[in-house]
């Protein structure tokens, strides 16, 4: 009898390579003070990202738009699921002001899924990029977008505002997609990435979490699939369980395996491969614009 990835299991202890140093430094302290003083919302702080200190020191931060309640219930994600609040049409300017206050050189914008909206949030997405451009003309941008259910008129709104990098995460291998992402589809995500490239986006990007029960060959096949749609940048990181209600960690991937995937990915022709236990979607995002 086959067992589900959701089957309960005793969590394995975290290995030493997942230990994180507390962020320090003058730049980090200054930005942390601004975030608290002006109640700025970044994924860096709300998601307790292990790379926050490093990224902030280099002038990079990640912001989430369209609220903090998602219409999807992915088994890996710590974001709340339910009925989202109404759209805040002042949000684009709020995000742009946050970036200005923090003096961010490279901003990553992401969002919850908003399948409840006719445009799936794509209008706010486009307006946010425009507002950032107006207030922060020197800031470069990466947009980490949902699949918008594959509706091209919504994806076109992102293409029209031309971020330096457009990213959409595969999250996992094909076999595990149904359990890990539930409402998402592996082939649809590939088609979104293909469409972005076909319509002229110069740098496309995607990310995969490891440790959910995938095999090495499945990871390599996913990398081959991503290269088949001419993807430029890929990130591979260790999945960590947000709570006991979420999918369990099946395996902690050793550093040597992450290094192997990095080398294979570069041989396949990816422009950038970030591969490591603590790598997240926006890790070293500022260098991906080159």
> Per-residue pLDDT tens for 215-254?
999 999 999 999 999 999 999 999 988 888 888 999 999 9
Residue-level pLDDT at 3: 46
Averaged confidence pLDDT in the chain: 87
Residue-level pLDDT at 1: 42
Tell me if 17 is assigned to some domain. no
- Whether the predicted pLDDT of 10 surpasses 90: no
Half-sphere exposure of 64 (CA within 13 A, CB side): 17
Q: How many domains does the chain have?
A: 1
Tell me if 259 is assigned to some domain. yes
* Residue with the larger pLDDT of the pair 73 and 39: 73
* Residue with the larger pLDDT of the pair 78 and 192: 192
> Per-residue pLDDT tens for 12-64?
678 887 776 656 666 666 766 666 665 666 665 545 566 666 666 677 888 88
* Residue with the larger pLDDT of the pair 269 and 12: 269
Lowest mean pLDDT of 72-76, 93-97, 162-166, 261-265, name the range.
Answer: 72-76
- Whether the predicted pLDDT of 174 surpasses 50: yes
Tell me if 11 is assigned to some domain. no
Tell me if 86 is assigned to some domain. yes
CB 85 within 8 A of CB 68: no
Domain region containing 223: 24-289
Tell me if 6 is assigned to some domain. no
> What CATH number has the domain bearing residue 176?
3.20.20.70
Tell me if 152 is assigned to some domain. yes
Beta strand ranges found along the chain (DSSP E): 60-65, 69-70, 80-81, 106-111, 140-144, 165-167, 204-210, 233-238, 272-275
Tell me if 12 is assigned to some domain. no
Tell me if 36 is assigned to some domain. yes
- 106-111 and 233-238 as β-strands: parallel, antiparallel, unpaired? unpaired
Half-sphere exposure of 138 (CA within 13 A, CB side): 6
């Amino acid at each position: 009898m086959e067992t589900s990835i959701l089957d309960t299991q005793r969590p394995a202890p975290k290995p030493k390579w997942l230990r994180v140093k507390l962020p320090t430094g003058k730049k980090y302290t200054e930005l942390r003070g601004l975030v608290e003083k002006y109640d700025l919302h970044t994924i860096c702080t709300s998601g307790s990202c292990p790379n926050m200190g490093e990224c902030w020191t280099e002038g990079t931060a990640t912001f989430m738009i369209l609220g903090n309640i998602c219409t999807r219930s992915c088994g890996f994600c710590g974001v709340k699921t339910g009925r989202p609040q109404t759209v805040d049409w002042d949000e684009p300017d709020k995000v742009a002001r946050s970036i200005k206050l923090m003096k961010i050189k490279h901003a990553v914008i992401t969002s919850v899924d908003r399948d409840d909206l006719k445009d799936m949030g794509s209008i706010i997405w486009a307006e946010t990029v425009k507002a950032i451009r107006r207030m922060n003309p020197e800031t470069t941008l990466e947009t980490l977008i949902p699949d918008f259910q594959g509706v091209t008129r919504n994806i076109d709104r992102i293409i029209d505002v031309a971020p330096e990098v457009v990213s959409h995460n595969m999250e996992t291998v094909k076999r595990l997609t149904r359990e890990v992402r539930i409402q998402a589809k592996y082939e649809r995500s590939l088609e979104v990435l293909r469409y972005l490239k076909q319509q002229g986006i110069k740098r496309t990007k995607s990310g995969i979490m490891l440790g959910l029960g995938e095999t090495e060959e499945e990871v390599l096949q996913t990398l081959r699939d991503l290269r088949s749609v001419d993807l430029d940048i890929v990130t591979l990181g260790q999945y960590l369980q947000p709570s006991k209600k979420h999918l369990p960690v099946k395996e902690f991937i050793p550093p040597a395996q992450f290094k192997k995937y990095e080398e294979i990915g570069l041989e396949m022709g990816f422009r950038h491969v970030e591969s490591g236990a603590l790598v997240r979607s926006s890790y070293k995002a500022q260098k991906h614009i080159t």
